[in-house]
Amino acid sequence: MTIATPPCGAIQGEQGRGAVHFRGIPYAAAARFALPVRLAPWGGTRDGTRHGPIPPQPPSRLRAAMGDFVRPRDEDCLTLTIATPEADAGARPVLVFLHGGAYWTGAGSLDWYDGAVLAAENGCVVVGVNYRLGALGFLAHPAVSPANLGLADMAAALGWVQDNIAAFGGDPGRVTVVGQSAGAHAIMMLLADTASMGLFHRGVLMSAPADMAPKTAVQAAQDAEFLAEALGVAVSGLAQVPVQALLDAGLKLARAGARFADATPPFHPVDDALADPAQFVAIVAREAAARGVRLMIGTTREEMHAFFVPDPGMDAPDPGQVEACAARIAGEAGAVEAYRQRRPGATVRDVLGDLVTDAMFLRPSIALAEALTEAGGQAHVYQFDAAGAGNRFMACHCIDLPFLFGNFEAWSDAAMLEGFNPGQAQAISTRFRGAVAAFARAGEAWPRYDTADRLTMVFGTITGPVRDPAGAAWRPVFALRKES
């Protein structure tokens, strides 16, 4: 039995897989549509051997690739999970993980994100955060809810880490926030908010939809009014409807706003000042540089395959829709042909996947790295290429997560991992999580990115840095066409 005694109150953890686990630690309290409130220290010793409930949510739209999970759910869900080599005075680097799931699904306490291997083998403290999702976390309307409650939850969790993590063997002066997908986008939102200054010192952005600008207050209010109409209540009445009814109305909102080959989530942050995509990236880069927050920024090679492969409509999509999508994204329908030439013999789904991957993930991530560099900051860029032999998902969105945590047994139902040679997968995982831990420890993992060399670390069957002065084949075709 291990007991930590942070200022929040004593808590009992348990040993397992080379690390000490503390689970279900409450970091704040929040009523529906209310800001999180700091908790008073508890008396006695709290049981930290069991997880608390996860946020209410619909089924994950990526469960065909990642697998699924079953956990008790409740609106009272603001808890942390910690894995540490020892709850001592070790002052180890801290990695706070913000999960993805389109601001709509997931939880930091899922077994997928168990930090034991990462903590034990790399000498760091790993913290997983549960934050509010969907309408409960990102509804914004003056009649019922302030904006961005889910982001407020994350900030509260980071504040808790500053105050308490030393008792778990962590160094509050070396906090790296690691976010994947929506979690990476959330790091950008936190960087754009001066209120988060000092809460973290480095950031790892995995598959960030980096130019997904926040909604305007007007757009968010319209969404709230849609939910209220779907439920037959006034907007203020959303505070009282059953949570399942709110989830069902959210699914209606998602269907109403769905577009062909577009993975933009129905709920995400709101901020009028950041609502222009180019301005959003520029402001985030400027703030990160000004604070000295170094960023590791990466994408997977076939991000959109996680969304497209399970969708029967993508097996043989309508050519007109494909051309319209290309025109919307790249400015010309002919961009499809450039992508077809880049992947000879590929299906239309694969070609469209490359196009949308570049538009939603790769190109914006490169733009953020370049903007940060130009602002005087420091970026380290990677691409994750590892894929199972013959696996239709290829190197899809989320494929890098089991490699970060090194806990492949927790991903036994993940179709995206089929075809991997176990020994090779473990070797890639060791390199990848070691690089992330090295960045958390010292702010360096491989030489920094600059616009002259565009040095990019590639993790895959062959792992190593690639210099890209002229634009290698994997870079965005339409971005190079526009820049030339």
Active site residues: 181, 303, 397
Give the whole-angstrom CA distance, residue 60 versus residue 48.
27
Calpha distance 5→189 (Å, rounded): 32
CA–CA gap between residue 307 and residue 318 (Å, rounded):
17
Which residues partner with 205 through β-bridges?
179, 297
Q: Which amino acid is at 325?
A: C
Do 77 and 108 form a contact (C-beta atoms < 8 A)?
no
Collapsing DSSP to helix, strand or coil, 260 comes out as coil
The answer to whether residues 117 and 17 touch, using CB atoms and an 8 Å cutoff, is: yes
Token pair of 332, please? 């010309």
CB within 8 Å of 279: residues ≥ 6 apart: 213
Q: Give me the helix-helix angle, 182-191 and 277-291, nearest 10°.
A: 70
Calpha distance 397→263 (Å, rounded): 11
Given a contact cutoff of 8 angstroms between Cβ atoms, the answer to whether 45 and 3 are in contact is: yes
Distance CA(360)–CA(304), nearest Å, equals 9
Distance CA 229, CA 347 (A): 41
Burial grade of 99 (CB within 10 A; 0-12, 13-18, 19 or more): buried
C-alpha 38/C-alpha 57 separation (Å) is 24
Determine the Cα angle at 469 with ends 345 and 188, to 5°.
85
d(CA 390, CA 258): 30
Helices (H), ranges, 292-347: 305-308, 319-330, 335-342
Coil vs helix vs strand at 272: helix
CA–CA distance, 411 with 173 (Å, rounded to integer): 33
